[in-house]
Structure 1
């Protein structure tokens, strides 16, 4: 049973980090040892038994730190269980239906034989960094569309696969 898990993430405004921390908390509750860290700060993944990588979506692409992370560690990631998540739709669509991965993430899934991917709603609120983000918020299109129940349920499925524990 893999016991040491990394949850790496790429985020600009912190909302993807909150999703990653939620995933890590659920995995910990199921008895796994978990570290959640910004993707840019991770120098080695070889001492982890499994990895979850998540990133915010910006203009149809994963956050640059997550893209660089999977490129830099591709060999090691291909040798261990890997799950991916994206956050980004600034509407309720992620809660209403399954949203497929964007093309770059889909290629990563295939190349690294990832076990799964999910897209969660995003969050863009007052104080967001970036000209486009500020414009979206100013035009009233920003809000918090993250569904933490869905995030916890997905993380529980990952934990179940890692631990082999029966579903509740």
Structure 2
């Protein structure tokens, strides 16, 4: 079985999760390709894949525009694949809303599994207006660590 892991990552946590999924699903003759949506999807032929995993980090309530456009462009073809969807973010109270707001409903309806993997904010990695906004929201310059590695494992098990 050939698997595409299509992701977008701003600060790196979503990339870590995508790598774990790729490694976890690349067993028993399966090949999982890790594909960054902005750089590598122009030459991507989804017809070559049986299974597709799509996900990324949530910023200000949204996945990257490139990932949302990819889902819209290939929506019909993605509905024919074994599909898994994931998001990374620190707003645990709005997990379901993050899926509904960022993926077409038809993909949510056919997804084998959906995973919310938590997230992290490393304040020192933030720049400009984002740093300013986070300082106000977080009431200081503190890091947020809400990673959910057990959710990544559960997702892989459900996809496997």
**Alignment correspondent of 1:13:** 11
- Distance in 2 (CA, whole Å) between partners of 1:62 and 1:158 is 21
Q: Per chain length, whose mean CA-contact separation is higher, i.e. which structure has more relative contact order (CA < 8 Å, sep 6+)?
A: 1
For normalisation by structure 1, the TM-score amounts to 0.77
**Alignment correspondent of 2:86:** 85
Alignment map for 1:17-166 (pairs within 5 Å): 17-40=15-38, 41-43=40-42, 44-89=45-90, 93=92, 99-102=95-98, 103-105=100-102, 108=104, 110-112=105-107, 113-125=110-122, 126-128=124-126, 131-133=129-131, 135-136=133-134, 139-159=140-160
User: By percentage of residues, which structure has more helix?
Assistant: 2
- Distance in 1 (CA, whole Å) between partners of 2:150 and 2:16 is 13
Where structure 2 has 5 or more consecutive residues not aligned to the other structure, the ranges are: none
* Cα RMSD, aligned residues only: 2.4
Where structure 1 has 5 or more consecutive residues not aligned to the other structure, the ranges are: 160-168
- Distance in 1 (CA, whole Å) between partners of 2:128 and 2:145 is 17
